[in-house]
Structures are given as structure tokens and as C-alpha cells.
Amino acid sequence: MTYAGDLTPQQAWEKLENDPKAKLVDCRTRPEWAYVGVPDLEILGKQTLFIEWVTFPEGRANESFVAELRDAGIADDDEVIFICRSGHRSIGAAEAATADGIAKAYNIVDGFEGQLDEFDHRGGAGWRALDLPWRQS
């Protein structure tokens, strides 16, 4: 593993709740944020950071991803927790952050919506399925 580790959505919430330096980065695309919903950290007095790992509509890697993390105020000693749809893109994001010196970069397993089920639907696992705070944007 080339990043700090994987967290369940509940473990991620607990880090965000208990560590003032913990930050959540949603690395999905703009349409996912707009149409699927986003984690809501308002009750914690925090805001989710929104930085695409893969650009929409091009579907290319966001070459300025790390620069955008830094521009958003991410420091090397922050705990940075990455979330995507199912926990795959966020691995790449955590690896890129780690490579840039952010030692505590984590991936949320099952992401916001979880893996596909036997009917090719998402939503049975992940942040939203656990009823962690979220909202439609």
C-alpha cells in the first residue's frame, strides 16, 4: 500500500469528528456532486473539499489535482481522507497525495455509493447507505 490506509465510512466520520486537522476530499466529478449528492460536514463545522481526480467530460486524469489540493490549504501534516463513488478513484488520489508529502492520506472503502450489486445497482454500501450526513447539491 502506497498511502496511509483504508477506512470504512464510519471510521472516516470518526476521524473527521475527532481530529481538527482531518479533511475530506470528494474526488468524484462535478455531475456526481450535482446529481448524486455530497457528504455534508456542516454539523462538524467543516466543509468537504471538491477536487476532481478525473475531469468531466474529458475523462482524463486531472493533471493539477495535487496543486488544487495545496491551493485548498492541504498541508503535509493534515489527515486527508479521500472519497469517490466506490473507493477506487480515491485510492489513486490518496497515492498522489502521499507521493507529494502528505503522509496521512486515506481512502474510504465503498466510497459514497458502494460497489455494484447483483442487479448492477449502487447504493447498498458506502457513506450514503450508512446514513452519514449528506445532501443534494
Domains and CATH numbers, the chain: 19-90 (3.40.250.10)
> What is the pTM assigned to this prediction?
0.95
Give the residues of the chain that fall short of pLDDT 50.
none
pLDDT tens-digit series, residues 83-111: 999 999 999 999 999 999 999 999 999 99
Report residue 134 as a C-alpha cell: 449528506
Alpha carbons 15 and 11: distance in angstroms, whole number: 6
51, 23 contact by CB (below 8 A)? no
17, 114 contact by CB (below 8 A)? no
Share of the chain above pLDDT 90, in %: 89
